[in-house]
Amino acid sequence: MTSFTRALRRKPARRVVAVGAVAAGALFLAACGGDGDDMSGMDHGSGNSSASATAEAGSTSFNDADVTFAQMMIPHHEQALEMAQLADGRASDAEVKDIAGKIEKAQDPEIKTMKGWLESWKKPTAVEAMPGMDHGSGDGMMSDADMEHLKGMKGAEFDKMFAEMMIDHHDGAIAMAKDEQKNGENADAVQMAGDIVEGQSAEVKQLNSILDRL
């Protein structure tokens, strides 16, 4: 048998192999396509998307009470930070220094968070909304004269005045936070209000005990 004849006899076999390979490939692709169609019809992806959308909607929903809470609490916290920073170099009582540090640690991040809410809600910040806020109008905010007086104090005199002013300041914040708990809609804002009520109520108790021994 010549080499040419052998070559002719091998060609059909190669065709069979090739056809078999193509057929197998087609079956594989069909199987993969079927799996993809089945997967696209499964509930896993759509269920997760729905849950995510619901969570997102819940975190971004808000009402007027939420906006007012953030707009009023931002400058309130900012003044508390200013008072706390005055303790450095003026306070002599260890507990006063400790509370001042706690106020800075807690309220600075809360200010940033509330400003972020207002930006996401497309609402003006507290400074823009209330440039002429009337300090000392029952919300616990100190007047400019009060702040200047505190700046002039040092040692035990500072400690006592700081404690008295911060109690009034905290009482105002607690009242504002309780209003938010009752009337707010945004879950994050209501949660922060609860944290403020709990944390600042504990600090008021501690500040009162400091006044009792000064």
**Domain limits, the chain:** 3-41, 63-213
Quick one: tokens of 140?
């616990």
pLDDT (tens digit per residue) in 149-185: 999 999 999 999 999 999 999 999 999 999 999 999 9
How far is residue 144's CA from residue 142's CA, in Å, rounded to a whole number? 7
| In contact, 82 and 202? CB cutoff 8 Å | no
Quick one: tokens of 60?
């971004």
| In contact, 163 and 211? CB cutoff 8 Å | yes
pLDDT (tens digit per residue) in 4-33: 344 434 444 444 334 344 344 443 334 444
User: Cα–Cα–Cα angle for 200, 172, 116, nearest 5°?
Assistant: 75
How far is residue 161's CA from residue 171's CA, in Å, rounded to a whole number? 15
Of 46-50, 82-86, 116-120, 122-126, least confident by mean pLDDT is 46-50
**63-213 classified as CATH 1.20.1260.10:** yes
141: alpha, beta or left, given left = phi > 0 and alpha = psi -120 to 50? Answer: beta
Confidence at residue 18, expressed as pLDDT on a 0 to 100 scale: 40
